[in-house]
Structure 1
């Protein structure tokens, strides 16, 4: 049972990575506009994050150190600083969007404007990270996020056109630049940098050793595909409901409505619960990831298992990051729009995260005989080229399409 519960680290990471507020709306919008023709992007993203998360988890289990700590040591402080600046900026933007996402979910439940919920969400988030055990957090929100399974059941009841899954092309009325803009955003959402930093730091928090390699792989190959499958639920239900009507999806309320159409108030309640758990889980991941990356770069004590006095600078970074995220939201910027920008800029910095992981995973000084095999390296290099292509294309296609408009 203890081993089974330990898998919730992967579930929490995956749900937070694949089903945060931006992904919910972006996959729903993709389904409404393009049907199921972006299913291949979700599959490519799932395989890609599994390839690199497996490497990162193996590095952590064997070296007993988080990946970011090794990046600084292996590649030097200057290269690691560039990585830190890019990763922290994207993580901070994501954190703001996630806090906004939780507030939007509470708005759906209460009817009160989401901005009124933002300070309360931030306070509860900080108190949870400060006072509640790491294992408790990951199990509560990781498992609660599984209520989004209702979307997969709703998919079969609503009946989208599954033949679209084999069509890699925009439907009539859409164009190729916009199609690829959405594809880049969906791919970046699957490969967001904070996922691997949180996953490997969480492995250190849970004291993984080489004997936990199997546990790490179960987390990766169960958790991340599950997260991708839940994201597919939003894609498919929106394709079933909105594409035939020619409607777009740009709010959280529209994204969750198909579950209500399929199963009434019960379905709607379950999906809102799942959205709340997923976005709050993502907010925890991004808050901790902000603290992890900064503390690991500077060599500070870090981690939730340490008392706040023992890791004061780590907890300070987490708190300051939350306050900065709240300040951004209080400018009244739309959390959904903020996340859409974040996904595109995330695509730009992806190489800074994944190239160092590939380098370290081949370093026998850290991994001994547990370095990458031929398959891991082949897939790693292929995906590195895909990541580079997405990074190069992100800004030009954003400008060309006017953010996919």
Structure 2
């Protein structure tokens, strides 16, 4: 009895420790990410399963750097860039980030609306999209940061459904094992494009900005921003590692599901999350279809506040406006207006002839092309003793960070070459 109580207390303490890292990891597997992973599984079977193993240490190392920058400088990534780097670099990041993030928001809203329509066919998808947008906007504006963080953290539990879905279908364990640990690379533009897309949607620039800013928010709420120490850094690492591992597992199981069920069923082209959900229904049964659909809505509710919040942090830190999810609307009007604009713009993409869903892979590829530049800047900041003091990068962090730059740059260069050569 005592042992049970002791274990439950440990779990409770660990759950309380989890925060920005878990939410960041969960938001990485948003509806647009699910569409990318589903397309990878449907088009290439289990051939991209190994990418989840490669991506995990890279994304964990980079998110740790971003979190450490926030904790040590008490500024988000944008604020640190503004203070220590030429303005053109900052404006370039704004230029790349804004359209990609708005398109990502639009795609997620559309995906949630479409899946809502699958669950309740009598109600049009556009109505669901509008309702989800209004709910999210209301929650972000009227709830304080602690409540938002708590809601997002508990919503992460919804994502456990993706760990169930593959086991509702008969699996070849030996084939899965080989695909997981023996990388397959096909040098054609379709495969390299999906590879860049996977890297871009797992190691996404918007997550870098969000992680640093939300760590500052968390510390300010706890009133610890002047007391950064090794214990706080250690707790942050555990939080980030768990969040990124969680994200990696979800990615792995989505590719596993679509790579076995859809690929074997002859369905090789998936452009939307609702197509992935619908395709599962006749092949893997109603339960798999329902769980997959519910998971999409849950992940959208986690990711959209992160995407819109990230964009708002970038703008407000760039122009020196009041910011923070913990502030009331009248205290940080610009911050919340930018969030509202990003949600409305994202929603409007569905009504002005632009299909954000079809552009999902291109958004992920855009992230994949721009991320190496930003990672290089993050590495420079993280190794700068004038900025980071005693909390500069260790050897392992640098090895993983530079590996991410090299891998993502190489994949992007090969993709551009194949596109230009027509192969």
Q: When the two structures are superposed, what TM-score results if normalisation uses the length of structure 2?
A: 0.86
Aligned residue number for residue 42 of structure 2? 32
Alignment of 1:273 onto 2:284: no
Q: Which residue in the other structure is 2:249 paired with?
A: 229
Question: Is 1:305 matched with 2:316?
Answer: no
Q: What's 1:47 paired with?
A: 57
Residue of structure 2 aligned with 1:238, choices 258, 264, 268? 258
CA contact (8 A) 2:19 2:149 kept: yes
Taking the aligned partners of 1:92 and 1:364, their CA distance within structure 2 comes to 35
1:285 CA displacement:
0.7
User: In structure 2, what is the equivalent of residue 200 of structure 1?
Assistant: 212
Query: Following TM superposition, by how much is the alpha carbon of 1:153 offset from its aligned partner in structure 2, in angstroms?
Result: 3.1
Offset of residue 70 of structure 1: 0.3
1:57 to 67, 71, 74: 67
Please give the alpha-carbon distance, in whole angstroms, between the structure 2 residues aligned to 1:360 and 1:37. 36
- Structure 1 position 330 matched with structure 2 position 341: no
Mean Cα deviation higher: 264-273 or 181-190: 264-273
Deviation at 1:187, TM superposition (A): 0.7
- State how 1:1-400 maps to structure 2 within 5 Å: 1=12, 4-17=15-28, 19-111=29-121, 112-158=123-169, 159-160=171-172, 161-162=175-176, 163-169=178-184, 176-207=188-219, 209=225, 210-211=228-229, 212-248=232-268, 249-256=270-277, 265-397=286-418
Tell whether the 8 Å contact from 1:11 to 1:223 is kept in structure 2 after alignment: yes
> Is the partner of 2:405 in helix, strand or coil?
helix
Contact conserved, 2:67 with 2:212, CA < 8 A, in 1? yes
Deviations 1:346-388 (A, max 9, x none): 1221133212111110111221111012221222222212232
Displacement of 1:303 after TM fit?
0.5
SS at match of 1:65: coil
- Check whether the contact 2:20–2:240 (CA below 8 A) recurs between aligned residues: no
Say which SS state the counterpart of residue 380 (structure 1) adopts. helix
**Secondary structure of 1:321's partner?**
helix
Query: Which residue is 2:9 aligned to?
Result: none
C-alpha distance 251-314 of structure 1, shift in aligned 2 (>3 A):
closer
Distance between the aligned counterparts of 2:374 and 2:211, measured in 1?
13
- The verdict on how the C-alpha distance between 1:6 and 1:312 changes in structure 2, with shifts beyond 3 A counting, is farther
- Distance between the aligned counterparts of 1:346 and 1:205, measured in 2? 25
141-150 or 121-130, which deviates more: 141-150
Q: CA deviation at 1:268?
A: 3.9
Contact 1:177 1:400 in 2 (8 A): no
RMSD: 2.5
1-side partners of 2:416 and 2:116: how far apart? Answer: 33
TM-score by length of 1: 0.90
The alignment covers a number of residue pairs equal to 398
Q: Could you tell me how far apart the structure 2 residues matched to 1:276 and 1:114 are?
A: 13
Query: How far apart in 2 are the matches of 1:400 and 1:318?
Result: 41
Q: Greater CA deviation, 7-16 or 225-234?
A: 7-16
User: Secondary structure of 2:358's partner?
Assistant: helix
Question: 1:111-165: per-residue Cα shift (whole Å, max 9, x none)?
Answer: 2332232222222221111012223233323433333323323324421431333
Gap runs ≥5 in structure 1: none
Does the aligned pair in 2 maintain the 1:21–1:97 contact within 8 Å?
A: yes
**Contact 1:37/1:167, CA 8 A, preserved across alignment:** no
CA contact (8 A) 2:385 2:392 kept: yes
